[in-house]
Structure 1
Amino acid sequence: MDRARERIRGLSQKAGVALTLKHPLGDGSFVVEMPQPKTVREAQALAQVLAGQPGVESVGVDVWVRRQAFIPNDLHFPEQWALQPASQGVIGSARFSDAWDVGGAAFIGSPSVIVALIDTGRVRHADLEANEIDGHDFVSAGTIAGVEVAGDGDGRDPDPSDPGDYCEPDNADSSWHGLKMASILAAVTHNLQGIAGAAPGVRVQHIRALGRCGGWLSDVADALRWAVGAPVAGVPVNPSAAQVKVINMSLGSLPGLDCNSSAYGYIRDAVRAAQSAGAVVVAAAGNEGQSSVGLPAGCDGVIAVGAHTSRGALAGYSNRSSKVMLTAPGGGCPIDGLTPCDTVPIVSLGNTGTRQPQANLWRDVTGGTSAATPFVSAAAALMMSLDGGLTPVQVRTILAETARPHPAGSYCANNPGMCGTGMLDAEAAVLRVRDGPIPGGSGRSGGGALAWGWLALLALAAWRARRLHTCRLRASGGFFSK
């Protein structure tokens, strides 16, 4: 040990970093500690320097290990199959609980990343409100088929509250759709109640564009512009626009409309404005079971999301086409009928009101490509939390490249080009951001996420020893603990 300490002191001087011998390992190697935390890449760079010194046999990196997947204690998390770790064997899971561990902390979502949710508006809920902020109401005043669409007695205003979107002509109660989508994204996680959000810590900004029975695509276009700070006549600029990194639209028109047609230039230009501002735009492919998508999902650059079941089969209701970029958990029955229907669809928060908001529900269910869309938005938000310099194109590319293949023999596997590149894999996408390569380079200044526990490994030859010894280089500092 004394000879090893002397050898390591010499290496410390040559490498310019103070190394401390800790203890030998069973194979005759030594554990060595660094004074400051290092990223994995920084540790690798230092190891290469040490490997070039006389008497050094080999160099590696020692990393902190722990049980895989953070399992939150939310009451209904066991029912959230879309979030389960790979170890649970749920084929269609997007593996968010694995993704939460990738960043080196239990919750890697950053409150500086805002997902603009263009939907039916906000219903306050104790399991969500800590992670959400108000935006604006863009539902135009007026009636259609005798229905007062806004539902709140006026047109556009600063209050995005959801007064209820019930539709009497369709005999439909209020859906509380905005609440459900927001909860899938960002419900408060690990609080012994309710559900877990897919992107814990990320904030949701409610921008209301859907009222009773639906809404106008032109209102959606203005909501898109406003979200990223583009001017909208008669409306103050969004004060949170600089932090809006993702825009979620769990909505759409009837399929088959061409976004490149001059008739829909207003939505095409709004999408381009959002993308130019650096926002990732995500939209539902639609639930008509058709071989085409609606708008805005069909616009260039939009991540169009189809829906798959817990077994990875394309849901029978999901639209599919070359415009679909990938599928995400939506639940339901498979398109081919070869696997069972999901007995539990997507779990969310909810409300008991049939018209106006009443008592909150800590467990409700939903489904469809609407529900699939916030999972993709959540993955994008986690990616942007880890690397705020990512561009929309980079996020799209990484999500597409890291998607897992659909199960062999399924509709999507047998019909390439109709369901995108595969099933959303949040863990793989976040890992790609952490470890690279980033398509086209990254705006990130760091060399990678901190290793868990900030450990590194180097292998040395012990001084005056005939046999070679391995030393582990370990950084001091507190270990992460859940």
Structure 2
Amino acid sequence: MNTNTNRPEKSSSGIPDSSLGLIIQRGGEELILEKISDRFTVRSKFNISTRELAQNFLGSWRSTIPTSRLELFRVAPSSLEMAMSQARSSKNVAFASHVYQIKGNCGNKVYLGDQITIEFDMRVDSARINTIAAKFGLILYKAIDGLPNTFAFKVSEQATQNPIKITNRLQGLPEVVASEPNIIIHQASYYKPRDPLYFQQWYLNHNGGNQLAYGSHISVEKAWDITRGVRSVTVAVVDDSFDLNHPDFMGSGKIVAPLDLKDKDFLPMPAQKQPSHGTACAGIAIAEENGTGISGIAPGCAFMPIRTSGFLDDESIEAIFDWAIEKGASVISCSWGASAVYFPLSLRQRAAITRAATKGRNGLGCIILFAAGNANRPINGTVYERGWVKNIVAGKTRWLSGFAVHPDAIAVSASTSLNKKAAYSNWGTNISLCAPSNNAQPGMWFEQTGFVYSQPAIAASLPGKGMFTTDQLGAAGYTKGDFTAYFGGTSSATPVVAGVAALILSVNPDLTVVQVKRILEETADKIVDLEADAQLGLRYGSYDDNGHSKWFGYGKVNALSAVKAAQKLRANAIVPTKFIEGRNNAVLSIPDNDKQGIKSRINVAANGNVSDIQVSVNITHEFLSDLEIYLIAPNNQRVLLQSRTLGRRQDLLTTYCVQTHPVLENLLNQSAKGNWQLWVVDTAPQDVGKLKNWELALSIHS
């Protein structure tokens, strides 16, 4: 027995018992929580009014969180624990929880659902899984498609601890690779308005003029000579609501498979007194060409409107992407993200997006786009913050947009009508490409403050035209008419690219996700902005040796060039002529916490270009989640095969192929000849391991 009384008691996961309820496992990371002192949530067993519940707990009802049917209550801080105790002992309450915030995430509230995701070691059988679940009071909910031996469980009334504590205790079991609670956070739209009105769709085509730089449009008119889109290609726009009575959404076969996740029906219409962000986004991508109003970029394509609940959790993300897969979406446009500074995705959220990118479109994959955001901050990086209202963000701050950096997503930033960086546009190495939008002050919505501007303030003028698009009918929208001319933000840039992706699939429906992404990137216009950013003084408007800019990705989307490239690729179908296999059996120790890592080579002597690729890896390691694994082609192009998501697993014996890891398509159609390298990097201290062997299989065409 350990008799050191100065050492805090720890769970088997290594987390002190005193911290078990204040650390969440998330995307391979541990995030620190802080309790909100005056709020808690409950889910009632029966149809009891919120007024009656409030009287029972001596609190005031604040709102409903629809994703998990939670009711939010506010009490005096001194009464919180008593109210929580009353709620948990009440026969009318099925679930009660504190409300939290993630430390360093600016006061945005985190709500706890009653679900837990557990990834078990592949050697753990169903009997042992059932035993573990019963021990913790968990009830099997469903298997997670795309994640082997991974399941979602519901926390039953027999559970003696909350989902956060349970997941941390589970994390210490040798049978468990990873465990995560389902948390709920506000959704934030990436709309950024700006006066004055400009009643023209300059972003489609223009011949110059006031605040219009040459080539700042997307060259769509000539693309329309080839295709205006076909009804068999469906664009799913995921957003707050859609005015389906708008004339520009009318047409035979235009609207397919609508879904409303907020009202739990199939009519995703807006509330009467709230602007409809989704209506504006959808108009840019797919507004019907009918002789009135405007034309979307892909007017001939079908429209799948999916209304969100306004909150994001595992269930809601799965519902969005599984619906899109089931109902045949080709393109999924998402002009939103989490209302948080730092937001890694959960296991289930990552899997849902990957599932759509690999199983959608009958296995070719849905094209998924996410807006970069409007705070003028990195989508994955660190900035020293100062001067924000109420110091809501201060000091060395890590920024992460988990949706935008997902490897199967296309992250879209914004340029202006003057071919410059939009002042608000987020940026980084994960940006795929940019599209036209407005220009305005950067900022962000926080639950604690509402919308606030990023700091330091920008004193310079911010020229650039707004985006003209559909609006909610009548006075309830952004303007009093049926259209708005001052939509903007990366919210409007994202459906621009979604529309172009739909045109690409209209001329070549057999393209994979990676092929579409490559076409978009390789045909983009290399706009350049050599001026320093007016807020942070950064200069990221030029391109590196790989043709990438942190501000613009691989450039501004060009509809004509992209459609032509898709046509050409269809005409040049590739038939492999050779099959090459190589193996390296040299056992290499992986240095601990060393960014240099190890590299193991396989030489290919055959001439020709790669048409298919498969990599098999055999690694043992004490904690595989420390590792990143890359494949490096002979031309030194690198792709990430495995990120730090393997949890506590100790043996990795797996095969990566184009079908399961579309990122490998980036290495197709290049020379196979030369040294191929497997690069393994240990990114954290303490645990060590070995690369035992690896294999490379290539299909080659001349």
Aligned match of 1:341 in 450, 463, 471? Answer: 463
Where does the alignment leave 5 or more consecutive residues of structure 1 unmatched?
Answer: 1-75, 140-154, 167-173, 230-240, 443-482
Paired residue type of 1:284: A
CA contact (8 A) 2:198 2:485 kept: no
Aligned match of 1:425 in 545, 552, 558? Answer: 558
Alpha-carbon distance in structure 1 between the residues aligned to 2:418 and 2:501: 23
Alpha-carbon distance in structure 1 between the residues aligned to 2:255 and 2:308: 17
Aligned match of 1:413 in 527, 536, 541? Answer: 541
Aligned match of 2:374 in 263, 282, 287? Answer: 287
Q: Does 1:381 align with 2:502?
A: yes
Aligned match of 1:116 in 230, 236, 248? Answer: 236
CA contact (8 A) 1:400 1:421 kept: yes
**Higher RCO (Cα < 8 Å, 6 or more apart):** 1
SS in 2 for 1:227: helix
Give the equivalent residue in structure 2 for 1:366. 487
Give the equivalent residue in structure 1 for 2:534. none
Q: TM-score, normalised by structure 2?
A: 0.42
Alpha-carbon distance in structure 2 between the residues aligned to 1:314 and 1:337: 16
Alpha-carbon distance in structure 2 between the residues aligned to 1:438 and 1:399: 18
* Cα distance, 1:81–1:361 mapped onto 2, change above 3 Å: same
Alpha-carbon distance in structure 2 between the residues aligned to 1:439 and 1:250: 34
CA deviation map 1:74-107 (0-9, x unaligned): xx99711110057886432111112112x2xxx4
* 1:334 CA displacement: 8.8
* Cα distance, 1:266–1:284 mapped onto 2, change above 3 Å: same
Aligned match of 1:137 in 260, 280, 302? Answer: 260
Alpha-carbon distance in structure 2 between the residues aligned to 1:287 and 1:397: 25
5 Å matches for 1:50-449? 79-84=200-205, 90-101=214-225, 103=226, 107-123=227-243, 124-130=245-251, 131-139=254-262, 155-163=263-271, 174-189=274-289, 191=291, 193-210=292-309, 214-218=310-314, 219-229=316-326, 241-242=327-328, 244-254=329-339, 257=342, 259=344, 264-276=346-358, 277=360, 278-292=365-379, 294-333=401-440, 341-342=463-464, 344-351=465-472, 361-407=482-528, 409-410=530-531, 411-414=539-542, 416=544, 417-419=549-551, 420-436=553-569, 441=574
CA contact (8 A) 1:405 1:413 kept: no
Alpha-carbon distance in structure 2 between the residues aligned to 1:355 and 1:196: 22
Paired residue type of 2:563: V
Where does the alignment leave 5 or more consecutive residues of structure 2 unmatched?
Answer: 1-196, 380-399, 443-457, 532-538, 576-702
* Cα distance, 1:115–1:340 mapped onto 2, change above 3 Å: same
SS in 1 for 2:557: coil
SS in 2 for 1:82: coil
Paired residue type of 1:84: N
Alpha-carbon distance in structure 2 between the residues aligned to 1:322 and 1:127: 36
CA deviation map 1:42-66 (0-9, x unaligned): xxxxxxxxxxxxxxxxxxxxxxxxx
CA contact (8 A) 1:285 1:320 kept: yes
Give the equivalent residue in structure 2 for 1:50. none
Paired residue type of 2:218: A
CA contact (8 A) 2:198 2:486 kept: no
* Cα distance, 1:99–1:198 mapped onto 2, change above 3 Å: same
Q: How many pairs were matched up?
A: 320
* Cα distance, 1:163–1:314 mapped onto 2, change above 3 Å: same
CA contact (8 A) 1:77 1:195 kept: no
CA deviation map 1:3-51 (0-9, x unaligned): xxxxxxxxxxxxxxxxxxxxxxxxxxxxxxxxxxxxxxxxxxxxxxxxx
CA contact (8 A) 2:248 2:290 kept: no
Paired residue type of 2:323: W
SS in 2 for 1:400: helix
Q: In terms of mean alpha carbon deviation, does 129-138 or 268-277 score higher?
A: 129-138
Paired residue type of 1:291: P
Give the equivalent residue in structure 1 for 2:159. none
SS in 1 for 2:438: coil
Q: CA RMSD in A?
A: 3.1
Alpha-carbon distance in structure 1 between the residues aligned to 2:299 and 2:523: 21
SS in 1 for 2:336: coil
Alpha-carbon distance in structure 1 between the residues aligned to 2:256 and 2:295: 18
Higher helix share: 1
CA contact (8 A) 2:474 2:482 kept: no
* 1:182 CA displacement: 1.0
Q: TM-score, normalised by structure 1?
A: 0.60
* Cα distance, 1:441–1:399 mapped onto 2, change above 3 Å: farther
* Cα distance, 1:396–1:379 mapped onto 2, change above 3 Å: same
* Cα distance, 1:355–1:136 mapped onto 2, change above 3 Å: same
Alpha-carbon distance in structure 1 between the residues aligned to 2:288 and 2:438: 22
Give the equivalent residue in structure 2 for 1:38. none
* 1:203 CA displacement: 1.2
Give the equivalent residue in structure 2 for 1:151. none
5 Å matches for 1:463-474? none
CA contact (8 A) 2:471 2:479 kept: no
SS in 2 for 1:413: coil
